[in-house]
Amino acid sequence: NATGALDTASGKDAGSRPDFSNILASVTRNTGRFRFGATVGEYAFPVVGLSINPTFKTGANTDLFGFVPVAYVAYAPSEELTISVGKQATLLGQESNFTFQNVDIQRGLAFAVEPNFSRGLRAAYANGKLSGDLEVNDGYYSGSHRAVEGLAGFAPTGNTSVQFAFIVPGKDTPADPTTGIANKAEYDLMLTQQLGKLQLTPYLLFIDSPQSNAAGFVNGETAFAGAVLGSYAFSRTLSLGARYEDIGNHSAPHDPSLNADFVGYGAGSGASTLTLTPAYKRNQLLLRAEYSVVGVRNPAPGAAFGATGTATSQTRLGIEIGAQF
C-alpha cells in the first residue's frame, strides 16, 4: 500500500510483515444472576487492501482499545433478560474483532468501517425464536459522545437466523483515534444459514454520515457494502473459509467533504475483495493459510497500491499459526 503505514516515514507499507495477531486470555461467567467477562492481551486488526500496522504500534491495533478490550459485569434478573455494563464488542457485522474468531485471517473492508468495541450499558433479551439488544454507549469509542446501538434477531430454525443491527451516534460527534468519521450511522442486515457442512453468513451494510459543521463535514455522505462469507468443513480438522465483498462510496470524485471516503481509497472510490482461507485445526493447534485479492475502482491519485499508489489491484498471501487452550 502507498499510504496508511504508521511505522514508515513515507506511510508506504512493507512488502511482508511477521507479527503476533493475538496473545489473549479470557475469563467468562455466563450463568447465574451475576455474570462477568474480560479479555486481556494484545491483538491486531489486519484488513484486506489496507496497510497492516505492527500489533504494538501507537495509533493502531492494541493501542486503540488497550490491553483489556473487553471487561463487563452483568445482572440477569430472569432467564430472558440480561443487563450488562462495561467494555463490550459491537453488535454489528458478521466478522468479529479477533482473528481466530473468523473464517479468514484478514477482515474485510466492510469490517473496517464498523465499530469494534464501545463502553456503555446494554440490555439483552432472548425468548424462543426472538432476541434483541439495546445499548447506550460511546459509539466509535469516543469516550465522550453518546450513541444508540441495537440488534433484533429472529431464528425460525436451529439452522437459520436473521438479524438487523444498527448504531446511531450524534451528528456532531468528532473524529477520534479509532475512526476519522465518528458520526456515521450504520444499518446492518445479516443472515446466518447452516446447510450441512456449509455455513453461509452474508450481510448488507448501509452507512450514513450527516453534514455537520461541528465535525467539519460540509456534505452528508453515504456508502454501501455487501458481503458473503462462508465456511465448509471437510472434516473435523480441515475446513475452507471464504469471503467475497463489494463496498463503494456514493460520493463524487474530488468531493471535498472530510467524510466522503469510507472505503479508504478516496472520494468516489470502491473496491471488491475475494479471500480464501484453508484451515487445519487439531486439539489446540490452529494452522491457516490465506490468499486474498483486492480490486479498486476510481481511487484518488496515490491512494491505491504500489510504490506510487496507482496500481488498482493487490494480491496477498498469509499464514497464521496458533494455539487455543
User: Does residue 9 lie within any of the structural domains?
Assistant: no
Q: For residue 317, what are the domain limits?
A: 22-323
Q: Are 103 and 19 in contact (CB under 8 A)?
A: no
- pLDDT band at residue 49 using 50, 70 and 90 as cut-offs: very high
- pLDDT band at residue 325 using 50, 70 and 90 as cut-offs: confident
CA 95 to chain centre: 6
Q: Are 309 and 301 in contact (CB under 8 A)?
A: yes
pLDDT at 5: 86
Instruction: Report the C-alpha gap between 280 and 287 in whole angstroms.
Output: 5
pLDDT at 189: 98
Domain of residue 228, CATH code: 2.40.160.10
pLDDT at 208: 99
CB-CB neighbours of 26 under 10 Å: 11
Full-model pTM:
0.94
- Taking only the tens place, the pLDDT of each residue in 66-123 is 999 999 999 999 999 999 999 999 999 999 999 999 999 999 999 999 999 999 999 9
User: Does residue 50 lie within any of the structural domains?
Assistant: yes
User: Does residue 17 lie within any of the structural domains?
Assistant: no
User: Does residue 11 lie within any of the structural domains?
Assistant: no
Task: Count up the domains in the chain and report the number.
Answer: 1
CB-CB neighbours of 270 under 10 Å: 21
In the predicted model, what is the mean pLDDT of the chain? 96
